[in-house]
Structure 1
């Protein structure tokens, strides 16, 4: 089925009024795109990232509009004409197919070999019959963390060296669950994870299920580990591997906490560290009684492996 995509441009202060008018005329599923809202969201959550993708910022630059979708038929065109007439506004109009929404994004996700042993496979891709690698199934549409970004690749490479049978893993900022799932695929015995996103447990467990992993050995919690002492107590200590693919501003205060989670022989793998922040993180690791054993650098990002000393 084909749809008319109509975008009505307006001022940010007038968006609510425009939405009310469109709703009163029968419009449903309105999509609001507003630079002011985007900037406010970034400011309110700035502690969770070091940068914003340039293309994403450009997409919202100077934007204040409301989008709606109508069937591409006589009825849809008549409805749009009526709305435009009542509003006295001429929308930007395009045509999209159902397939554009449902499947086109999948073209950007292909099997990704990582390190020497892993192959990250989108859930719709067939399993290669001749691959010697261990398969990690993932739904890339669910959350950040698909293996394509340098921060995740570096973590996976470091994890591949550290993972082994009977090891227990803590994944802080687990997102899609990719790192914890990789640990299980590589033979680890148990993964506990957490994320500030309340949807993370469902998302990570869904991805784990694609790999035959159940909540018996893969447990995910929602919460802020820096602020929630009860959550930290729930996790306990003695982990062989602690993972944190987050940002420098979280890793720095996290370092002494990660030290408490680790077994004496354990390793802390942290990534998501933008160029220019690596020295701050290295200093925080040293202050938390860690010795850096490996420093990876790729595409402007850094990843440290560190052990207690």
Structure 2
């Protein structure tokens, strides 16, 4: 079935009147994008981001949107006509609801979930790895294949921060290592470590969606729970999860953001085995020296620095 995706541009004050108008027409399944929620997220989650695209901030400034879906048939177009009439009445009765402009996209069922996949192709990373989407086929040659379905989590391998960490990882793993992946997302880094020859890996993330996604990606690569363990928890704030993790890791990975890495630095020594490596990435360029300073203050020596597209990664040891 084809669908019509309709968007009504408004502002924060107009969200309730627009939603009420649609509900009166029998349209209750709406998606609301509210500028104030976007700003609240930015204000209350500084630890999870370092950079917000200026175009995105400008787009969200003073703008809110209500999205709803109608079937692309006679009934759906008739309902859209009713919405247009009701929208005109709302414009005439109120002047505080923004533009109330309605736009439309044509969608098919498959588009919602699968269209993004066409942009994700096999990628050669470093000297040894080839990241392959589950739905693609590729000639690996002499490279190690890493099959991945990122699902709804961060970590497709396409972002510079992930590539920097993978490049450092393929140099760090030579065989038999015990690996810890902090902020694992799709599991790409810890699974790559196992594919490169690590003996075991533990992966942790605060997002419970990562539990199934990481295990599913491990299975795609022939990796079982005998060598791979995924946990959900906040390593920074939860002593219990820290106790579960223990220590003695040969490689500890953290592809997150600067503030979280800075928070992790004091506990790195307790996680690493003697001679172990701490690989951290996800550091935007204007925070790179700040993170480096915290690493040095904790007694870590930065053995290698990598950068690409305004992002930095460090390989460190005590």
Specify if TM > 0.5.
Answer: yes
Note the 1:8-157 alignment, pairs <5 A: 8-87=8-87, 88=89, 91-128=102-139, 131-157=141-167
CA contact (8 A) 2:146 2:192 kept: yes
1 CA distance for matches of 2:17 and 2:224?
Answer: 48
* Preserved CA contact (<8 Å) 1:109 1:140: no
Q: Which moved more, 1:213-222 or 1:98-107?
A: 98-107
Distance 1:94 1:281 in 2: 44
CA contact 2:122–2:138 (8 Å) conserved in 1:
no
For 1:269, the equivalent position in structure 2 comes to 279
> Partner of 1:188: helix, strand, or coil?
coil
Q: What's the offset of the Cα at 1:209?
A: 1.7
2:177 aligned with 1:167, yes or no?
Answer: yes
Q: Give, in angstroms, the shift of residue 244 of structure 1.
A: 0.4
- Number of the residue aligned with 2:263: 253
State which of 222, 235, 238 in structure 2 corresponds to 1:225. Answer: 235
Give the secondary-structure state (helix, strand or coil) at the position aligned to 1:148.
Answer: coil
CA distance in 1, matches of 2:123, 2:78: 47
- Post-superposition CA distance 1:65-88 (Å, at most 9, x none): 111111111100111222332343
How large is the RMSD of aligned CA atoms in angstroms? Answer: 1.8
- From 258, 261, 279, the equivalent of 2:289 is 279
Distance 1:60 1:210, change over 3 A: farther
Mapped partners of 1:218, 1:199: distance in 2:
17
Query: 1:11: Cα distance to partner?
Result: 2.5
Return the offset for 1:149.
1.1
SS of residue in 1 equivalent to 2:224? coil
For 2:209 and 2:20, the matched residues in 1 are separated by 30
Give the TM-score, by structure 2 length.
0.91
More off after superposition, 189-198 vs 154-163: 189-198
Instruction: Return 5+ residue gaps in structure 1 as ranges.
Output: none
